[in-house]
Structures are given as structure tokens and as C-alpha cells.
Amino acid sequence: MSVLNMVLYPDDPLTQKAESYEEIGPELVKLKDDMVETMHAYEGVGLAGPQVGISKRIFVMQEPEQDALCLINPEILNSEGEQVGEEGCLSIPEIYADVVRADRLVVRALNEHGQTMTIEAEGYAARIILHEYDHLEGIVFLDRLDILSRQAKLSEWNEVRARVLAEGPTAPRL
């Protein structure tokens, strides 16, 4: 397994819509393992393909005390309710903001073996899924803020980004 390089916002392909997988080959098992290792190295709870330079519809996620999941070509079949909670992003380190999300979801996706899974998620798990799903659409959590909050967070990020790049952008923060 290997830790993959993290793409920082707004570098490509983070703002692009990712492509679906046409078939699930054996390389997806290794990609899942690498993405999970990368997520752990950066102490994240979710990681999407575009964050490691892969503009494909795949993400991994892990709730506390649960096994890591890999969702490929995810579809949100239903979403209900509303929750507000703080989010951050491995591609926008050190920046946090409250984001409004649906509270309950039904999601269908393939796993790394090409098997169809239907997942019912609520609360924190729903938040992770929606944050990662947004990455596949080229959207980051800052895009979900009102315009003034977004501008304030983007100017904070510009300063952090300059410092992070000077320190070395790919170092996992262990």
C-alpha cells in the first residue's frame, strides 16, 4: 500500500466533474487500499478520487470504530432532513466551517469488488457521504457557504495554502 499525494484546492481535478467507472477491475482493490491508507495518514474520515488526482467517481470513508468503505459510481437515491455541523477537508487543511447537509440518505454504489451496495446513512455518516459526493461533482464544502463566509474562508485559505506549499504540500500531517 502507498500514501498518495494530496491535491490542494483549487488545483485540478478538484473543481472538475469526475467520470464514472465503466468497469470495476482488480486494480480497484489496490486503489481502495491506497486511498484508505492515505486517508489514515492524513487523519481524515473520507477521501475522494479527485483529492489524489484521480478524476473518477470513487471515494472511501470511515466512521469511528467501523470498517472503511469504498463507494464507486455512487448515486444518492433519497435525502431527507437537515443538519448543521463543522466540516474540514484534506484538500483545504486547517480551514473549518459549519455546513448545512441533509440528515438521512439512501445511497447506492458499487464496492471495490464491483458488488452493488445500498447504504442507509444518517447524521455524521450522511455528512461524510455528501461531502465526498460533492468532490465527485467538483464541489468543495466552501462552495456550500453563503457568499460572505465563503470569501472570508477563501482568504484564510490563501494564507494557509501559501504556508502549506512552502512547507511541502504532500507531507501527511501525522
Active site residues: 132
* Residue that is written with C-alpha cell 469488488 in the block: 113
Does residue number 14 form part of the binding site for Zn ion (CB under 5 A)? no
CA distance 18 to 35: 16
On whether the CB atoms of residues 124 and 102 are closer than 8 A, the answer is: no
What residues contact 96, with CB distance under 8 A and at least 6 apart? Answer: 86, 87, 88
Q: Given the rule CB under 5 A, which of 21-29, 85-93, 96-104, 160-168 is the region that contacts Zn ion?
A: 85-93
Cβ within 8 Å of residue 82, ≥6 positions away: 100, 101, 102, 103
Rounded to a whole number of angstroms, the minimum distance from the CB of residue 26 to Zn ion is 27
Report the nearest approach of Zn ion to the CB of residue 131 (Å): 6
39 binds Zn ion (CB under 5 A): no
Binding mask 100-139 for Zn ion (x = CB under 5 A): ----------------------------------------
Gap between the Cα atoms of 11 and 31, Å rounded: 21
Q: Is 89 in the site for Zn ion (CB under 5 A)?
A: yes
- As measured in angstroms, the least distance from the Cβ of 120 to Zn ion is 22
Residue with smaller CB distance to Zn ion, 29 or 145: 145
Of residues 158, 166, 147, the one with CA closest to residue 94: 158
Shorter beta-carbon distance to Zn ion: residue 4 or 89: 89
Binding residues (CB under 5 A) for Zn ion: these are 89
